[in-house]
Amino acid sequence: MLQAILLVTLIVAAKLMWDIYRDYKGEFKKSKPQRGKVIDLRNAWIKPHDMPYKKREHLLTGRELALYQILSDVIDNNRYVIFPKVRLADLLVLPADTKDRHEYISRINERHVDFVICEREGVKPVLAVLREAGAKKKKISDKFTKQAAESAGLKTIVVNMSNIPSAEVLSQYLSEHGIAVVQYN
């Protein structure tokens, strides 16, 4: 029995000395930190047919829907199309050689604009519509979103959702920003 304990101790000590030697020689290569792994649902505890997700009843809140309908009524629908809740990362691109590129990407990944008006032909973004923020944290986020979009050449407007402008006022505001609108008499 004593011989077995001595043998196990000798093997552990040899392995420890071997690891120290390899570490000293630089043979251990440090691996990059791994990002989140993809969950293989076939073998996971999550059952694909029994996930807790539910479909939203409505994509837009009542006020957002009201603004969407006014926007849809005033723009020239032959030239433009409106998309709600578009991620900023889907509107902006970063050159591959940008310094701290991943930092900039992570800043736009979780942000979105409330509506984007695109040219119908080619679906080219021409104007982002943002809701006026109420909370301080949202104001800071919206300020970044507005600055990022405008620095990339995407015009933005901010709409006060507690007092949605009339179709006439919104029409004038959009035309001032270069959007073709339906003429009101």
81 vs 17, more confident: 81
Q: In this structure, what DSSP letter does residue 54 have?
A: -
Residue with tokens 């310094």: 99
Place 116 in a pLDDT band, splitting at 50, 70 and 90: very high
Question: How confident is the model over 80-101, as pLDDT tens digits?
Answer: 999 999 999 999 999 889 999 8
Domain borders along the chain are: 1-30, 62-176
Burial (CB count <10 Å: 0-12, 13-18, 19+), residue 49: exposed
Question: How confident is the model over 149-158, as pLDDT tens digits?
Answer: 999 999 999 9
Is 107 in contact with 152 (CB distance < 8 Å)? no
At position 168, the amino acid (one-letter code) is E
What's the confidence (pLDDT) of residue 23? 74
Model pTM above 0.85 = no
22 vs 27, more confident: 22
Asked if pLDDT for residue 105 goes beyond 80, the answer is: yes
Q: What is the mean pLDDT of the chain?
A: 85
Spell out where 16-140 has E strands.
80-87, 112-119, 124-131
What's the confidence (pLDDT) of residue 14? 84
Question: How confident is the model over 128-142, as pLDDT tens digits?
Answer: 999 886 766 667 778
Tokens found for residue 101: 């590129």
Strands 112-119 and 124-131: antiparallel
What's the confidence (pLDDT) of residue 27? 52
Question: How confident is the model over 43-66, as pLDDT tens digits?
Answer: 566 666 777 888 999 999 999 999
